[in-house]
A and B are shown apart, each in its own frame.
Chain A
Amino acid sequence: MKKAKRLAARMLVSILTVSALAGCKGGASDGTPATETSGENGEDVVQLSFLPGQTNAEVDDDAEVVKQIEERFGIDLKGWYVDSANFQENLNVRFAGGEMPDVMVIDNLALLPTYVEGGIVAELPIELIREKAPNYAKAIDEADDGTAWQTMMYNGKNYGIVNTTKVYPMAMIWRKDWLDKLGLEVPETLDEYEEVLTAFVEQDPDGNGKKDTAGMAERAFGAVFGAFGLRCVTGGFPGFTVEEMQLGEDNVPFFPYIRPEAKEALAVLRDWYDKGIIDKEFITGENHGGYAWLSHSFMNDRIGLTSAQPTHYLFASTDTSNEENWATCMKELKGLNPDADIVFGPAPIGPDGKSGTEAWSQWGHLTCITTKAAEDPRKVEKFLEMLDAYYTDIDYMKLSNLGIEGVHYKETENGPVRLMDGTDVRKEGVLQCDMGSTFLYAEKITPEKDKFCEEVTGNGYYRFQAPPVKEFSDVIATLDTLTEQAYFDIISGAKPLDYFDTYVEEFKAAGGEAAEKAVQEAWAARLAGEQ
């Protein structure tokens, strides 16, 4: 153990030296001074720049929130903005030019190897985190399901931190006015789902005298797969996110899409498509542009069931009569059709008693330090200090996530409510160096929302952050195309159900089998490394 520690320290030192050398040429093109500026009292003030992922506003460096954070930690906080249109391209261009922030959130863990190999992300030893951010480390240990400290590992080294993130499974959202009109209850099993959805097709729930309604579209597919114990995710864009593997109960990751259970779920979807329960236009998607979580088919009386996060529709309770409780999707729905109403229901229970919907990973806001920050140990220390504060200090959590009371948010009986829209809030420096809705945050700051979301959702299939391996990333795009093609063709009846077997063979032959095996081995190695 001691030896490992010394080795890690030596590695850190060597990384620091190498990146310091590399930074000399990088810093000049940066435009801003690479290391530090002088503070008021003549001392050196550490400069820290944050890239909080994809955002749509550039932070004003003189904003009040920025100033308060700077004072609290004695740093010079800088925004580092990348336009969210073509985010990844713009970011890559700046990396290619040698520019980088000090701290960055990465949305896609599959990019970690590229960032490490490309000399962008620097090592952050776990020993150092434990030493400098003890409260953070304690919170992670308490929430650890055995994967927390493994997530940011690559080739045996740790390259960043994860945050405990309070996530909720997708909720099943029904048109209550349709159910009421037909005198139906919210269904619970897959068979009951079929009955209610068939009634939506046959009994003219919108009362316009025409048979122009369907039951559901692609956003509810995930729940049908969930009824067979699988986590098959239909993203915002029509298609399936094959790159997200599922972690089995035996702690072995696998591709859910090629499991025999998937064929059973496809049989149900195919049958429902044939009966008109699934909107024929699911192929072009429920969302027709604008805010991604809007379901235009749901709002425009085409389907009576959709799936989304509870808070996309309501903020903090199931009360749909209180306008303050309406989130974007609910506002749009009511705007189009004031008589429309919604009700949450459980995910369908399958023949073997399984049910559940997709949920995001409990390890969110994956944050890395760059090789530029690693040049200056004080930057790393300050970053860890800020991280630790987010896990102890509720006032700082509010300042970072919500801003200043009365200016950026107000307290209501349903918890804090933002007073500005997302773009303006970001300009003011709120959310700039944020670590998201941690367990502590949900418990202390938004208990009402937490209770509501827990209440209306059931079992969650949490997102598994697969360890990045080359065998996987080389073929995943091919596997994705294969799967989407086969699944859409089977559901829409263009190919017979038994085509599934051909598809599975093709999937395995195209590198799917090798990728699955490589991920399983990498995962087993990680778990073994922890013990």
Chain B
Amino acid sequence: MARIRTKKVAPQTIGNSKKRGFFQNMRLYKEYYIMLIPGLLFFLIFCYGPMYGLVIAFQEYYPLKGISGSKWVGFQHFADLFSNPFFLSVLKNTIIISLYKLLICFPAPIILCLALNEIKSMKFKKVAQSISYLPHFVSWVVVSGIIIEFLSPSRGPINILLQNLGLEPIFFVADSRYFRGVLVLSDLWKTIGWGSIVYLAAVTAVDPALYEAAEMDGAGRIQKIIHVTLPALLPIITVMLIMQSGKILNDSFEQVYNFLTPTTYSVGDVISTFVYRMGIQKMQYSFTTAVDLFKNIISFALVMLTNYVARKTNDYALW
């Protein structure tokens, strides 16, 4: 939210500064620039400084030898990555699973938020909200254990139901046809409540007068949601979407790792689990850095792209 507010202030300063030169402007507002220094330093030291370490992606890096003492290998690690027989399927799985999640898990908290917002009884609303975000605090190790038991072909309630209906039990977790579904739905269950909090906060900021005005105009509930609540949420939805798009290659390691079995490698093995298996054999700092660099370049491109689309379609882009 803070970012959006600064943006609204920004046009005035930019407008003024256009008339004066940059340094003139700087002298005029020197107090502001001085106040900016600590923040800038923070980013320089803690965010940009460590980026120097990325050079190890191009080295055969050993910690005790340091960056200056390690051998340069150029794009060797990238070549290793791209030539790995599993790389393409792993990249494909990562993108498909992330897109599924974006498609299903991104709108879900918004819908939950709209639904919670329509609840009249405050008590019920609070309880429903609390229950919905509790799973966020349970770790994936535990959640996966619960879900594997829940979906077990012999003990799980869903399969007992299927059998009572005369159907064959399905081993959801180990069946490559259902595995991605298990990932997406378990992610939905775990994240929906927590994700809706940010939207609920935005909804409380809507001016009640707008609803009253809409009622005066004869708007029903659905119409109020479409014409008042949703437009009010649009800025935050845009920002969240831009941030989510950056995470398409940053899969959820903990989740996938805990569900993955050899029968589902073909559909469920993602970049992070792949790197984990490759990297666990030895201390492959360089290789894993190379993979991360590759991932982040793609993520950066995706964020830029989404932001560009957002800027073209509405006014709430990040920059």
Residues of chain A contacted by B154 (CB below 8 angstroms)? 212, 280-281, 302
Q: Does B255 contact A (CB under 8 A)?
A: no
Within 8 A of B (CB), among A45-94: 88, 92
Residue of B nearest to A480 (CB): B277
Flag whether A12 is at the interface (Cβ < 8 A): no
Chain A, residues 270-287, CB within 8 Å of chain B (1/0): the string is: 000000000011011000
Known contacts A118-B63, A284-B174, A510-B85; A238/B262 CB under 8 A: yes
0 or 1 for each of B140-151: is its CB under 8 Å from A? (1 = yes): 010001001100
Given A281-B171, A492-B263, also A92-B63 (CB < 8 A): yes
- Decide if B62 is an interface residue (CB 8 Å cutoff): yes
A119-B65, A283-B263 are known contacts. Are A288 and B277 too (CB-CB below 8 A)?
Answer: no
Interface string of B59-87 (1 = CB under 8 A from A): 00011110000000000000010001110
Residue of A nearest to B277 (CB): A477
A92 adjacent to B283 (CB under 8 Å): yes
Please give, as numbers and ranges, the residues of chain A lying within 8 Å of B148 by CB-CB distance. Answer: 284, 288
Partner of A481 from the list B80, B86, B174 (CB cut-off 8 Å) is B86
The digit string for A294-316, where 1 denotes a CB below 8 A from any CB of B, is 00000000100000000000000
Given known contacts A118-B62, A120-B64, A489-B263, A280 and B282 CB-to-CB distance under 8 angstroms: no
**Does any Cβ of A come within 8 Å of B266's Cβ?**
yes
When distances are taken between beta carbons in the complex, the residues of chain A under 8 Å from B171 are: 280-281, 283
Nearest-CB residue, chain A, relative to B65: A119
Chain A positions within 8 Å of B283 at CB level: 88, 92, 111, 114, 118
* B:73-121 near A, CB below 8 Å: 80, 84-86
**Interface residue ranges of A103-157 to B (CB < 8 Å):** 110-111, 113-114, 117-120
Selected from B85, B173, B282, the residue in CB contact (under 8 A) with A111 is B282
In the assembled complex, the Cα of A117 lies from the Cα of B70 at a distance in Å of 10
B152 at the A interface (CB under 8 A): yes
User: What is the CA–CA distance of A131 and B86 in the complex, to the nearest angstrom?
Assistant: 50
Set of chain B residues within 8 Å of A478, measured between Cβ atoms: 84-86, 278
What are the residues of chain B within 8 A of A88 when measuring CB–CB?
280, 283
Tell me if B129 is interfacial: C-beta within 8 Å of chain A.
Answer: no
**Contact code string B237-268 (vs A, CB < 8 Å = 1, else 0):** 00000000000000000000000011101100
- How far apart sit A272 and B262, CA to CA, in the bound complex (Å)? 19
Minimum CB distance partner of A371 in chain B: B64
Residue among B176, B262, B266, B281 with the most chain A CB within 10 A?
A: B262
Chain A residue with the shortest CB-CB distance to B80: A474
Which partner residue on chain A sits nearest B263 by CB separation? A488
Can you give 24 A-B contacts (C-beta < 8 A)? A92-B283, A110-B282, A111-B283, A114-B283, A117-B62, A118-B283, A238-B261, A281-B171, A283-B261, A284-B261, A473-B281, A477-B278, A480-B277, A481-B262, A481-B269, A481-B277, A488-B261, A488-B262, A488-B263, A489-B263, A492-B174, A492-B263, A494-B176, A510-B85
Seen from chain B, the residues whose Cβ lies within 8 Å of a Cβ on chain A are 62-65, 80, 84-86, 141, 145, 148-149, 152-154, 171, 173-174, 176, 261-263, 265-266, 269, 277-278, 280-283, 285
A238-B261, A281-B171, A283-B262 given; name 7 further pairs at CB < 8 Å. Answer: A110-B281, A113-B282, A117-B62, A118-B62, A119-B64, A284-B152, A284-B261
Report A's interface with B, CB cutoff 8 A.
22, 26, 88, 92, 95-98, 110-111, 113-114, 117-120, 212, 238-239, 243, 280-281, 283-284, 288-289, 302, 473-474, 476-478, 480-482, 484-485, 487-489, 492, 494, 506, 510
